[in-house]
């Protein structure tokens, strides 16, 4: 599989270009938070118009992780470090008002590997005033545990998505989308243990979560052009799943263009209600089929604000653009005893080239 | 479900046919539904590792990278 991926990437790099819409993107994102976690994520991507209507794409992204979070230290480990690599190759073909696309993503780290496949179809209607997009993705994940050769679990994920984009006026677009996710297999963490109190002595048991998870997400969004060179984007997502987690997400982004410079301001608010089997503290009773100490399954809210500046350089026929981004965020955990809150920042810098 | 149908009806009721020569504002990069797909990949991967919800937006890539 690795050889096939390398072959595809080579084809993308060496393919003759059919048009001048080839792009190269390189950016690095740095995540840091008050829970002693740092993640550096470099990304490079290449896109080539290789034949009429056909585009080849290849990208590589890595996660370089260093963490001494409460998750890590509460399980008797001082700190952890990890390195994840991900390769994404894809093909897109335009045929009249239709666009077909397919991707393969391979992701690997020392205790986890993942194969992802997705296909999609996009169809324009009513003289490009409406667009229907449908897609399917499948992922097979192999889960291991460090220093434990005998530990092996699998997780299969199926996803279906459908969206409708509608031109509402000469200055307004609207979208409605729905995605269904079906997770089957191991979804807990092999490194997390849950404290059970109330018996003769407190005990710690491995985290145990249901093998199946059905996930629904619906998003409504709108983009509106304002004034001379500004635009407002707004969307709302409602999420609910079979584990009892429900969530609301509101996102706002405001773009202002000053010639070759684009400024983006954004705000994101998120609120989540806990999974029905999640408890702040588990007491020794008989009906405890599922136990988890995953704060991502607890009740919490978060808020993110950010700014991004992009500058298309006036030299070289404006083919090169630079960008920098800074987001700051706050997470407030309502029923997670080990960590009441967390703050952090997400910083990014990058360059894109059209050639 | 009633809210979804209401949004759909309101959306479709507001539909107009914008001719190609009237699409100048819609063609601007700041009006793209997803202006930076690679930023979406990095953002969604970071977010999905820290929240219980998933889906509805662009892909978060593959694997766990549960950091």
DSSP for chain B, written as a single string: -HHHHHHHHHHHHT-----GGG-TTTTSGGG-SSS-HHHHHHHHHHHHTT-S---SSS---SS----
Q: How far apart are CA A320 and CA B35, in angstroms?
A: 16
Q: State how far the alpha carbon of A291 is from the alpha carbons of A205, A276, A282, in Å.
A: 8, 10, 8
User: How high is the ipTM of this complex?
Assistant: 0.86
Query: What's the gap in Å between the CA of B16 and the closest CA on chain A?
Result: 6
Q: How far apart are CA B33 and CA B53, in angstroms?
A: 21
CB contact under 8 A, A348 and B50: no
Residue A11, pLDDT > 70, answer no
pLDDT of residue B67: 47
Contact predicate A89/A106, CB 8 Å: no
pLDDT of residue A253: 98
Angle at A177 between CA A172 and CA A178, to 5 degrees: 170
R_g of chain A, CA atoms, integer Å: 23
Identify which of A63, A139, A179 has the shortest CB distance to residue B65. A63
Q: How far apart are CA A135 and CA A346, in angstroms?
A: 30
CB contact under 8 A, B28 and A257: yes
Contacts with B17 from chain A: Cβ below 8 Å:
126-127, 129, 167
Q: What predicted TM-score, i.e. pTM, was given to this entire model?
A: 0.90
Suggest the residue from B24, B28, B29, B64 to mutate for an interface test with chain A (most A CBs closer than 10 A): B64
DSSP for A72-134, written as a single string: HHTTT-S-EEEEEEEEEEEEEEEETTEEEEEEEEEEEETTEEEEEEEEEEEEEETTTTEEEEE
CB contact under 8 A, B18 and A167: yes
Q: A187 in contact with B at a CB cutoff of 8 Å?
A: no
Instruction: Count other Cβ atoms within 10 Å, centred on residue B5.
Output: 9
The phi, psi pair for A259, rounded to 5°, reads: 65, -120
Mean pLDDT across A100-107: 96
Identify which of B17, B26, B52 has the shortest CB distance to residue A296. B52
CB contact under 8 A, A348 and B54: no
A269: Cα separation from own chain's centroid? 16
Contacts with A165 from chain B: Cβ below 8 Å:
33
Identify which of A27, A112, A297 has the shortest CB distance to residue B52. A297
pLDDT of residue A18: 45
Output the average pLDDT for chain A: 91
The burial of A184, by beta-carbon neighbours within 10 Å (0-12 exposed, 13-18 middle, 19 or more buried), is given as middle
Identify which of B22, B42, B56 has the shortest CB distance to residue A29. B42
Contact predicate B62/A106, CB 8 Å: yes
Q: How far apart are CA A139 and CA A155, in angstroms?
A: 8
pLDDT of residue A320: 93
Tell me the percentage of chain A whose pLDDT exceeds 90: 77
CB contact under 8 A, B42 and A61: yes
Contact predicate B61/B47, CB 8 Å: no
CB contact under 8 A, B38 and A231: no
Identify which of B18, B31, B67 has the shortest CB distance to residue A67. B67
Q: A86 in contact with B at a CB cutoff of 8 Å?
A: yes
Query: What's the gap in Å between the CA of B8 and the closest CA on chain A?
Result: 8
Q: A221 in contact with B at a CB cutoff of 8 Å?
A: yes
* DSSP 8-state assignment for residue A156: E
Mean pLDDT across A13-23: 61
Contacts with B57 from chain A: Cβ below 8 Å:
219, 237
Tell me the percentage of chain A whose pLDDT exceeds 70: 92
Residue of B12, B21, B47 whose CA lies nearest to A125: B12
pLDDT of residue B20: 83
CB contact under 8 A, A39 and B46: yes
Q: A299 in contact with B at a CB cutoff of 8 Å?
A: no
pLDDT tens, residue by residue, A214-263: 999 999 999 999 999 999 999 999 999 999 999 999 999 999 999 999 99
Q: A99 in contact with B at a CB cutoff of 8 Å?
A: no
Give the nearest chain A residue to B57 (CA atoms): A219
Identify which of B7, B8, B63 has the shortest CB distance to residue A109. B63
pLDDT of residue A9: 61
pLDDT tens, residue by residue, B16-57: 788 888 889 999 999 999 889 899 989 998 999 999 999 988
């Amino acid at each position: 599989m690795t050889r096939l991926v390398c072959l595809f990437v080579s084809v993308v790099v060496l393919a003759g270009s059919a048009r001048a819409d080839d792009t190269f993107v390189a950016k690095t994102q740095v995540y840091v938070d008050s829970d002693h976690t740092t993640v550096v994520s470099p990304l490079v991507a290449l896109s080539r118009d290789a034949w009429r209507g056909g585009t080849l794409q290849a990208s590589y992204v890595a996660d370089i992780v260093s963490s001494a979070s409460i998750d890590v230290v509460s399980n008797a480990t001082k700190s952890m470090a990890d390195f994840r690599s991900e390769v994404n190759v894809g093909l897109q073909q335009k045929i009249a008002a239709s666009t077909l696309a397919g991707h393969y993503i391979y992701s690997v780290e020392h205790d986890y590997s993942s194969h992802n496949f997705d296909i999609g179809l996009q169809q324009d209607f009513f003289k490009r005033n409406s667009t229907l997009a449908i897609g399917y993705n499948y992922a097979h994940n192999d889960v291991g545990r460090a220093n434990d050769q005998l530990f092996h679990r699998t997780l299969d994920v199926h996803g279906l998505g459908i969206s409708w984009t509608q031109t509402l006026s000469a200055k307004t677009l609207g979208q409605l989308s729905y995605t269904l996710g079906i997770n089957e297999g191991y979804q807990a963490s092999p490194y997390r243990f849950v404290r059970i109190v109330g018996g003769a002595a407190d005990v710690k048991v491995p985290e145990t979560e249901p093998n199946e998870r059905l996930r629904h997400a619906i998003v409504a969004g709108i983009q509106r052009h304002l004034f001379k060179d500004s635009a407002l984007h707004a969307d709302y997502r409602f999420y609910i799943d079979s584990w009892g987690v429900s969530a609301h997400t509101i996102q706002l982004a405001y773009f202002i263009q000053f010639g070759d410079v684009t400024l983006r301001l954004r705000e994101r608010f998120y609120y989540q209600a806990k999974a029905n089997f999640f408890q702040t503290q588990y007491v020794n009773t008989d009906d405890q089929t599922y136990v988890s100490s995953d704060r991502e399954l607890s009740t919490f809210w978060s808020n993110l604000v950010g700014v991004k500046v992009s500058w298309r350089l006036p030299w070289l026929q404006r083919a090169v653009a630079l960008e920098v981004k800074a987001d700051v965020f706050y997470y407030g955990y309502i029923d997670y005893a080990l960590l009441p809150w967390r703050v952090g920042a997400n910083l990014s810098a990058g360059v894109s080239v059209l050639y | 479900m009633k809210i979804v149908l209401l949004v759909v009806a309101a959306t479709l009721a507001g539909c107009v046919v914008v001719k190609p020569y009237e699409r100048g504002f819609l063609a601007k990069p700041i009006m793209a539904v997803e202006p930076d797909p690679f930023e979406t990949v990095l953002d969604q991967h970071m977010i999905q590792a820290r929240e219980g919800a998933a889906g509805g937006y662009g892909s978060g890539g593959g694997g766990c990278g549960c950091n």
